[in-house]
Amino acid sequence: MAHKPVPDDLVDRWIEPLRRDRAARAVLVGYLRGVRKTEMSEAAERLRSYDRPALVVWGRQDRMMPPDHGRRLAELLPRGRLVELDECRTLIPLDRPDGLADAIRTFVRETASP
């Protein structure tokens, strides 16, 4: 999920609530059991009606969600803009915080209302 190894203590912090909180586990299990197989494709299709600027930032080396997925997502958005980052997989803020910040800064500067 990341180009660089993710520290164990960080992974532990992400999953700790599920380990210790039965209610958190129940919410997750309930969601996973209840999600329809078509839910993601239906949600993606609704993006075609989103009429605001949208930024999609994707890692070029992403193995979990290949770059083609990012391209398709950006194409669904009428005003979508795709930025692909090198040396980056799924966890973009960990792999390339600088590239992500630059992409966001540029997007905001170029799409902000006067």
Please report whether residue 87 resides in a domain. Answer: yes
Predicted pLDDT of residue 34: 93
Nearest-CA neighbor of 83 among 112, 114, 106?
Answer: 106
CATH of residue 101's domain is 3.40.50.1820
The predicted pLDDT at position 99 comes to 98
Express each pLDDT in 42-67 by its tens digit: 999 999 999 999 999 999 999 999 99
DSSP the chain: --SSPPPHHHHHHHHHHHHH-HHHHHHHHHHHHH--TTHHHHHHHHGGG--S-EEEEEETT-SSS-HHHHHHHHHHSTTEEEEEESS--S-HHHH-HHHHHHHHHHHHHHH---
- Number of structural domains found in the chain: 1
71-77: long-range pairs with CB below 8 Å, 24+: 73/44, 73/47, 76/44, 76/45, 76/47, 76/48, 77/47, 77/48, 77/50
Look at residue 46 and tell me if it is in a domain. yes
Residue ranges making up the domain that contains 22: 8-111
**Is the pLDDT score of 15 beyond 80?**
yes
- pLDDT on residue 3: 86
Q: Assess if residue 25 is contained within a domain.
A: yes
In a domain, 73, yes or no: yes
For residue 2, is it within any domain?
no
**Is the residue at 35 inside a domain?**
yes
Share of the chain above pLDDT 90, in %: 90
